[in-house]
Amino acid sequence: MKVEELLKPFPIKEFHPFPRAMMGPGAHELIGPEALKLGFTKTLVMTSGLRGTDIVDKIAGSMRYHGLEVVVYDKVESNPKDYNVMDAVAMYQENACDSFVSIGGGSSHDACKGARISVAHDGRSVNEFEGFNQSENPKNPPHIAVSTTAGTGSETSWAYVITDTTTDPGNPHKYVAFDDNCLATLAIDDPVLYFDCPVDYTAQCGFDVLAHASEPYVSRLDFPPSLGNALYAVKMTNDHLRQAVWNGQDLAGREGMMYAQYIAAQAFNSGGLGIIHSISHAVSAFYDTHHGLNNAIALPRVWAFNMPTQYHRFADLARAMGVDTHGMTDVQAADAALAAAIRLLRDVGIPERFVDVKQDTYSKNRLGQGPTTFYENAGVITGDDKDVDRITHHVLGDACTPGNAKECTFETVRPVVEHCMTGDLDDLLG
């Protein structure tokens, strides 16, 4: 049965649990004792390297101080590729490790979750586990996920996202796997580790949070236990993102975003996502651009697309974003929510269309730099008709699409994608 057939009617809701977490300034210093408690002896650390910071050295050093052996795989790419996962699996097996630590944002955590699933299945390709609960063996190596960005939520979610590079180069495939067996054993969220996160990257990750929070609030799953977290995460993002972006050393801003990202992920974990994420995955698949950046560009367009399905929910989002809706109809308040989202996007300095994203636009840029044939000629986002068509097709096959509030067909989604590419955000404002 296909994903959409399974999910579209949503007759039965399913709650997916979260791992234990240690949270707050200084939490990362607990990693040694916590790893010992979990029975770690020899650990593979998976990370992008976090070059320019001493975070990996500090955490590995702290683990070694507590008597643990540590091996480091530091080549996880943004939008982690299947070969990143399988290289780490080989390193884990060659070194006879018994545990994992991931240090970074979603890419490191996701690659690590995929590696654990592969290890538990005799090193089978991670791509075999795309979809919903495709793994058979729940006995994965233990995993501590240490976050250095406020965006992903992967340290607490049952999702991981991988780019499959074995497909037709003309048709790259970035997929989400949802698997109850991939949960980290322990999450560590420490806002002090976010202090080195660059301005633009902080902003983009913040819009991943706003997407994680707002999509389950209006999704077809309509899962009541998610709604409180979703709404409060929107409020926290609106309250703290500007602070975190424009003063990276502001602990209140960083800690506010840490909790926003944590509860936003817990909202979507069982409440579902929508086509902000589907568009984001598709653009990453073709261009290797950053997930949060893609979400930020897609979010206003997708809010406008979904708004007619439930103005009252968008009116709630307006209030969560600090709009005084007294005297407004739900339609007016929903429009105000969209205006507030566009204001936030502009306040934190995010490019407004995909065609505005250039190779030197932002610090974590991989546009046109990917190592596979998917990306060799992808240094410029064209946004032409062919581009819009192929991205729309990718969106329709994404596991997040069935949860979207409004019915998604090629005809309904294509104009949304086209607007993301070349449209003017002011067109969305009444």
> Which C-beta is closer to Fe ion: that of 208 or that of 222?
208
CA nearest neighbour of 46 among 141, 138, 145, 131: 145
We find the least distance from the C-beta atom of residue 149 to Fe ion, in angstroms, to be 11
The Cα–Cα gap between 269 and 203 comes to: 22
We find the least distance from the C-beta atom of residue 137 to Fe ion, in angstroms, to be 27
> Which C-beta is closer to Fe ion: that of 200 or that of 208?
208
b (16+ CB within 10 A) / e for 271-307: bbbbbbbbbbbbbbbbbbbbbbbbbbbbbbbbbbbbb
For residue 133, what are the CA distances in angstroms to 16, 64, 65, 108, 351? 11, 35, 37, 21, 36
174, β-bridge pairs: 163
The Cα–Cα gap between 247 and 396 comes to: 39
We find the least distance from the C-beta atom of residue 232 to Fe ion, in angstroms, to be 18
The Cα–Cα gap between 394 and 173 comes to: 8
Q: What angle do CA 287, 151, 102 make, to 5 degrees?
A: 90
> Which C-beta is closer to Fe ion: that of 89 or that of 302?
302
We find the least distance from the C-beta atom of residue 263 to Fe ion, in angstroms, to be 14
> Which C-beta is closer to Fe ion: that of 155 or that of 208?
208
For residue 88, what are the CA distances in angstroms to 43, 85, 100, 111, 222? 12, 5, 10, 9, 37
> Which C-beta is closer to Fe ion: that of 77 or that of 208?
208
Residues 41-70 that bind Fe ion (CB under 5 A): none
Neighbour count for residue 166 (Cβ, 10 Å) = 10
| Tokens describing residue 119 | 């290890």
We find the least distance from the C-beta atom of residue 19 to Fe ion, in angstroms, to be 18
Residues that contact Fe ion, how many (by CB under 5 A): 1
Q: What angle do CA 91, 128, 80 make, to 5 degrees?
A: 55
110 binding Fe ion? (CB under 5 A): no
Quick one: CA dihedral 315, 270, 295, 240, positive or negative? positive
> Which C-beta is closer to Fe ion: that of 35 or that of 159?
159
Q: How many residues does the chain have?
A: 430
| Tokens describing residue 144 | 């501590």
Is 265 in contact with 214 (CB distance < 8 Å)?
Answer: no
> Which C-beta is closer to Fe ion: that of 212 or that of 319?
212
We find the least distance from the C-beta atom of residue 121 to Fe ion, in angstroms, to be 26
Residues 229-258 that bind Fe ion (CB under 5 A): none
> Which C-beta is closer to Fe ion: that of 121 or that of 212?
212
We find the least distance from the C-beta atom of residue 291 to Fe ion, in angstroms, to be 6
Residues 183-222 that bind Fe ion (CB under 5 A): 208
We find the least distance from the C-beta atom of residue 153 to Fe ion, in angstroms, to be 7
DSSP string, 315-376: HHHHHHTT---TT--HHHHHHHHHHHHHHHHHHTT--SSGGG--TTSSTT--TTT-SSTTTT
- Contacting residues for 428 by C-beta, under 8 A, at least 6 apart: 300, 301, 304, 338, 342
We find the least distance from the C-beta atom of residue 218 to Fe ion, in angstroms, to be 16
The Cα–Cα gap between 27 and 156 comes to: 16
> Which C-beta is closer to Fe ion: that of 121 or that of 290?
290
We find the least distance from the C-beta atom of residue 33 to Fe ion, in angstroms, to be 31
> Which C-beta is closer to Fe ion: that of 208 or that of 316?
208
CA nearest neighbour of 209 among 250, 158, 150, 160: 150
We find the least distance from the C-beta atom of residue 109 to Fe ion, in angstroms, to be 12
> Which C-beta is closer to Fe ion: that of 120 or that of 203?
203
In 55-137, beta strands by DSSP E:
69-73, 99-104, 131-132
CA nearest neighbour of 62 among 98, 31, 21, 100: 31
**Which residues lie near Fe ion (CB under 5 A)?**
208
